[in-house]
Structures are given as C-alpha cells and as structure tokens.
Amino acid sequence: MNDPAADIAPAAPLVVISAFLTFRVADDEYGIDILKVHEIVGLLPVTPLHGSPRAVTGVVNLRGNVVPVLSLRALFNLGAGAASPHHVFIIIDHERELIGLAVDQVLDVVRFTPAQIGPPSSARSGINPAFFEAMGTGHGRSVRLLAIEQVLGFPGGQAPAP
C-alpha cells in the first residue's frame, strides 16, 4: 500500500521572529514588542498630576479614556528635549490598561530572529539597566528592547491609577 504521509516532505524548522516598534529618545534607539502597542498618537494636551513621580507628565484624554503619560526622557534622566513635530505618544496596552509613553520620534517596525536578540548592553550612564530586557542587533542597527514591566515601575503588578 502507498502511505500518503510518506509523500509529504518534512517541514522546515520553525523560526520565530519577534517584531518591535522602534523609536528614538535623545540619540538612542529603543524598541517595544509590537504586540503591546495599542496605537501611536500625536501630542495631546497633558493635564499635570500634582504629587506624581517626575517621569509621569500627567494624563491625556484619548477619546474619553484617561491615559497616564510617562516621559521616557525624564525616566532615563536625559533632560528636556527641544519641541519637535516628531514627538508622539506610544499608547501601550498593559494588563488591559492604556498607558502613554512620550518619545521623541517613532521610527519603524523591525523584526529580529532569536539569534539576533542577546543580553542587554550597558545603557547610557544614568539609565537604570533594569529597564532593558535585551538588545536586538541586525539590519545595520542596535536596538535596546524595553523591559516594559520595569519601565512602568510595577514588576508583575498593576498599572498606575491616573
């Protein structure tokens, strides 16, 4: 008898490719898992929250949702940057809560294979190395990949209340 399964060629090994939204803060390039990104929006009016940590710039109204905004420049101790039309908010979905990350410029989406993702390299002086889970290298660039739980300041916990 002829076995139909014998006519099927063995499958090639599956290569998992991870995609990251890349963005710039000051002179460095960073990335966040694309699956965590809800949307990218232009700058919106920010309502300051008195008594909030320095990196929390306030909240924005995003179509009726109150969204806390975290400045990565402030969190990374990079000082204030000059205003630019490229400045945007990356709205991430964390534990079904929306949180905005203020960045200088969104670049593109880059894909890395597991072989292109390694341990994080030393960050700029003054930036907490715990903010980075890995370094993606390839396509002629090096991208520091954010450890979003650490960046948001609540490892394994809940999103901050606005």
Two structure tokens written together for 10: 């063995």
Reading the block at residue 150, the tokens are: 């650490």
CATH number for position 25: 2.40.50.180
The structure's pTM equals: 0.81
133 in any annotated domain: yes
Q: Whose CA is closest to 34, among 148, 154, 158?
A: 148
Give pLDDT tens digits for 103-135. 999 999 999 999 999 998 766 667 888 899 999
**Beta carbons within 10 angstroms of residue 82's beta carbon:** 6
**Taking a C-beta distance cutoff of 8 angstroms, is the pair 87, 77 a contact?**
no
- 4 in a structural domain: no
Torsion angles phi and psi, residue 152, rounded to 5: -80, -10
CA distances to 21, 88, 157 from 107, in Å: 8, 11, 29
Q: What sign has the CA pseudo-torsion 69, 73, 79, 81?
A: negative
> What is the number of structural domains in the chain?
1
Residue 102 domain-assigned?
yes
Residue 130 lies in a domain: yes
Over 50: is that where the pLDDT of 157 sits?
Answer: no
What is the residue type of 31? G
53 domain-assigned:
yes
Question: Are the C-beta atoms of residues 98 and 92 closer than 8 Å to each other?
Answer: yes
Q: Which residue has the higher pLDDT, 98 or 85?
A: 98
pLDDT tens-place string over residues 10-57? 666 666 679 999 999 988 999 999 999 999 999 889 999 888 888 898
| Residue 66 belongs to a domain | yes
Whether 159 maps to a domain, the answer reads no
Within a domain: residue 61?
Answer: yes
Residue 56, domain extent: 19-152
Residues 21 and 37: beta-carbon distance below 8 Å: yes
Which pLDDT does position 50 carry in this prediction? Answer: 87
CA distance 101 to 132: 15
